[in-house]
Amino acid sequence: MANPFVQKSWSPYIVGGLIGVLSWFAFATADKPIGITTAFEHTAALTEKAAVPGIEQKNEYFAARQAEGNSPKIGWEWMLVVGVFFGALLSAGLSGDRTQLWVPPLWANRFGPSKAKRLTAAFLSAALMMFGARLAQGCTSGHGISGTLQLAVSSWMFISVAFGVAIATALLMYGRQGAEHV
């Protein structure tokens, strides 16, 4: 049997099961749910604190997070995000699945090969996605996996609405014709 580490893909059931076990590990060792976007919010808040003197007094964000015991910091969540990058780099490197793709083929097929168009859309849509995640206090990881597995009402609500809206958006963007190219 081939070395699984050099394979390009594993069964989604194996991967999902291992992510489930990883969530046990996160709860057992750090008493934390796996989530990504807190680190982005903290990075932004630390940057704004450094760049704008006195922002802590003017913007109630800082007092509110302090009251929650969640002041911006370089912590477990921050290192988790750094780790995700290196873990994916390692996996793709071992299997030869590295790419230098600028415009995904499915996108190019519908919206053309323009790099500028794709990158502008990626920047703005990713900003909107992160803004939404911080409004809701979680993303696909924090709500979609960690929150739903804790049976949180907020998380089941979030992921149902988010995926429903995403399906509608994708169908509007690509239509029936685009869907046939997947």
Partner 1 sequence: MFESPDKLVLGFLTGVIFGFLLQKGRVAKFEVIVGQFLLRDWTVVKTMGTAVVVGAIGVYALVAADAASLHIKPALLGGVLIGAVCFGVGMAIFGYCPGTSVAGCGEGRRDAMVGVAGMLAGAAVFVAVYPVLQPLINGLGDWGKVTLPEITQTSPWLWIGGLVLIGVGSFIAERLSGHGPQGRRGSLTTGAHA
Shortest CB 54 distance to partner 1, Å: 14
User: Tokens 């003197």, residue?
Assistant: 53
DSSP classification of residue 101 = -
Shortest CB 57 distance to partner 1, Å: 12
Comparing CA positions, the residue from 126, 158, 123 lying closest to residue 143 is 158
How many other C-beta atoms can be found within 10 angstroms of the C-beta atom of residue 111?
Answer: 15
Shortest CB 112 distance to partner 1, Å: 14
> What Cα–Cα distance (Å) separates residue 164 from each residue in 12, 159, 161?
21, 8, 5
| Single-letter amino acid, residue 52 | V
Shortest CB 171 distance to partner 1, Å: 7
Cα–Cα distance for residue pair 10/5, rounded to 1 Å: 9
Number of residues written out for the chain: 182
Read off the tokens for 20.
């489930």
Q: DSSP assignment of 58-69, as one string? A: H-THHHHHHHTT
Shortest CB 116 distance to partner 1, Å: 11
C-beta of 29 vs 53, nearer to partner 1: 29
